[in-house]
Amino acid sequence: MAGPEIRQIKSFLATFARRRAARTVELPGGFAALDDEFPLSYGNNHVVIDGAPDPEALPALAEEALGHLSHRLITVLDDTAGEACAEPLLRAGYTRSTYLVMLHRGPVPAGGGAQEVDLDAIRVPLARSWRGSWRGFLPDADEEVIRQLVDRRETVRRGADVVQFIGARTPDGEVASWADLYLDAASGTAQIEDLVTSGLHLRRGYADAVLASALRRAADAHCATRFLIADAQDWPQHWYERRGFTVIGRHHGFERT
């Protein structure tokens, strides 16, 4: 049985997806979160399963909800439900990714010196990070894809009561590393999301500055549940572990193009 923290985080993620969406469509076991302004953005157009779905019916439900798009993305927030849905979705041509829910249980840093920035401050390095091959993002993406992936960032402001972009700058003033910080003081929940360092500024401590500043801000906002989501197959999970994060659960993503 899931503990109280994982249930709290699951509720936060589902609520955030609903609030961020331009429109939602209710489905058995979950909902579709949609935004017609950004049809190429998977994160703005996907099915979210936060209840008890019928695994065999899920591929057809996703097809009905996302059939107007060039992609299919289903996010299953419960680990057990994700395991149950895997076989029918794999048969339907989906690929599967597993994500780790990581809770911060280490000491809260005093602060890292990073500051809140606006979208314009990170627009150029954000576009560069999507195009660059150093993390294997989307080096071959066309300009419209990149535009939507950058401009969609503003939609996260709808997702929580407090949304901040935290950035660490170089001596010349360029934002070298950045992340989103979502705060819900009422439930005491904070999420750190999309921590990225520009390929031009790796291994210089900028990501540490952003993470430490975000954790400090979350603690100062009385958010005792501070978490992030990490890819189970990628190295950053180990970087986060060294900075006080512990894996407490998993959720699953299923994708088809």
Residue 142, classed as helix, strand or coil, is: coil
Asked if 173 and 89 sit in the same domain, the reply is: no
Domain endpoint, select from 43, 71, 100: 100
In a domain, 256, yes or no: no
Other beta carbons within 10 angstroms of residue 93's beta carbon come to: 12
Low-confidence stretches of the chain (pLDDT beneath 50): 1, 133-136
Domain endpoint, select from 100, 132, 154: 100
Asked if 187 and 211 sit in the same domain, the reply is: yes
**Which pLDDT does position 136 carry in this prediction?**
45
Asked if 96 and 137 sit in the same domain, the reply is: no
Euclidean distance between the first and final Cα of the chain, in Å? 34
Phi, psi (rounded to 5 degrees) for 68: -85, -5
Asked if 140 and 19 sit in the same domain, the reply is: no
State the amino acid at position 133 in one-letter form: S
State the amino acid at position 164 in one-letter form: Q
Cβ-proximal residues to 60 (8 Å cutoff; 6+ apart), any chain:
none
Asked if 70 and 127 sit in the same domain, the reply is: no
Cβ-proximal residues to 54 (8 Å cutoff; 6+ apart), any chain:
28, 29
Which neighbouring-strand residues pair with 163?
Answer: 182
**Which pLDDT does position 134 carry in this prediction?**
43
**In this structure, what CATH number is given to the domain that contains residue 126?**
3.40.630.30
**Which pLDDT does position 132 carry in this prediction?**
65
Domain count, the chain: 2
Domain endpoint, select from 73, 100, 127: 100
Which neighbouring-strand residues pair with 166?
Answer: 116, 179
Asked if 45 and 143 sit in the same domain, the reply is: no
In a domain, 92, yes or no: yes
In a domain, 28, yes or no: yes
Asked if 153 and 222 sit in the same domain, the reply is: yes
Asked if 95 and 211 sit in the same domain, the reply is: no
CA distance 69 to 45: 8
Residue 75: which domain range? 4-100
pLDDT tens-digit profile of 4-45?
Answer: 999 999 999 999 999 999 999 999 999 999 999 999 999 999
**What is the per-residue DSSP string for 197-236?**
E-GGGTTSSHHHHHHHHHHHHHHHTT--EEEEEEETTSTH
